[in-house]
Amino acid sequence: MSKKLSGVVIFLLLTLTACHNQKNHTNHPLIGAWYLASVAWISDEQTQRIEQAQPALFLFNKSHYSLMWSPKQSPRVPFEDLSNPTQEEILQGFRSIVFNAGTYQVLGNQITATAEVAKVPGFEGGQQFYHFKMEKDKLILTMYDETYPDGSKPKWSGQWETEFTLVKVKP
């Protein structure tokens, strides 16, 4: 076979492989928008659970994610003057929401998410590690580890896992 023909064959094989992998990833069960139904913080000693989570969204496309949720049992308190909050209102608002967005990779039933935007300044480039499983129409997403951009770990590392039960948003 000539070098030119060999090159064309290799190019076509690589293109077909890339298209096949992209197609499979596009149809991955994670892809879509998910509402948060419940959240649990699990350790060897105890589990804390919010059975009816506050409004939240987890979004996955073929390469990026975005998550926004509240770790509070009760609804967030609106600012009295939405355009001019007090310092205390700002602090309470900041404490009542979690968000990150960035890229992710899937390997088997594990997700590695790398933040490009984060609630916590300085976490950009940090990673969160999840296990996931599908149960009927639910996605169970368990964050089991986190690594800061400098390679260090949070104090909870190895002690707590956060389990999110998500339900797919119907179009």
Q: pLDDT at residue 111 above 50?
A: yes
Q: Are residues 103 and 20 in the same domain?
A: no
Q: Are residues 47 and 106 in the same domain?
A: yes
Q: pLDDT at residue 21 above 60?
A: no
Q: What does the alpha-carbon distance between residue 39 and residue 163 come to, in Å, rounded to a whole number? A: 6
Q: pLDDT at residue 104 above 80?
A: yes
Considering its fold, how many domains does the chain have in total? 2
Q: Are residues 43 and 121 in the same domain?
A: yes
Range of the domain at 163: 31-168
Q: Note whether 154 and 136 are within 8 A (CB).
A: no
Find where tokens 């076509």 sit: 12
**pLDDT (0 to 100) of residue 24:** 42
Sequence-distant (6+) residues with CB within 8 A of 123 are 100, 115, 148, 149
**pLDDT (0 to 100) of residue 123:** 97
**pLDDT (0 to 100) of residue 167:** 98
Give tens-digit pLDDT for 34-53.
999 999 999 999 999 999 99
Q: Are residues 24 and 57 in the same domain?
A: no
At 8, the pLDDT band (50, 70, 90 cuts) reads very low
More confident residue, 7 or 3: 3
Q: Are residues 43 and 15 in the same domain?
A: no
Q: Determine phi and psi for 82, rounding to 5 degrees.
A: -55, -30
Q: Are residues 22 and 40 in the same domain?
A: no
Q: Are residues 36 and 21 in the same domain?
A: no
**pLDDT (0 to 100) of residue 27:** 78
At 3, the pLDDT band (50, 70, 90 cuts) reads low
Q: pLDDT at residue 11 above 90?
A: no
**Alpha carbon distances (Å) from 65 to 105, 117, 131:** 10, 11, 15
Q: Are residues 21 and 63 in the same domain?
A: no
Q: Note whether 133 and 147 are within 8 A (CB).
A: no
Q: Are residues 15 and 73 in the same domain?
A: no
Q: What integer best gives the mean pLDDT of the chain? A: 88
Instruction: Assign residue 60 the CATH number of its domain.
Output: 2.40.128.280
**pLDDT (0 to 100) of residue 137:** 86
**pLDDT (0 to 100) of residue 171:** 81
Q: Are residues 85 and 162 in the same domain?
A: yes
More confident residue, 97 or 23: 97
**pLDDT (0 to 100) of residue 81:** 97
Q: pLDDT at residue 125 above 90?
A: yes
Q: Are residues 22 and 38 in the same domain?
A: no
3-state secondary structure of 3: helix
Q: Are residues 67 and 109 in the same domain?
A: yes
Q: What's the pTM?
A: 0.82
Bridge-based pairing of strands 110-118 and 127-135 is antiparallel
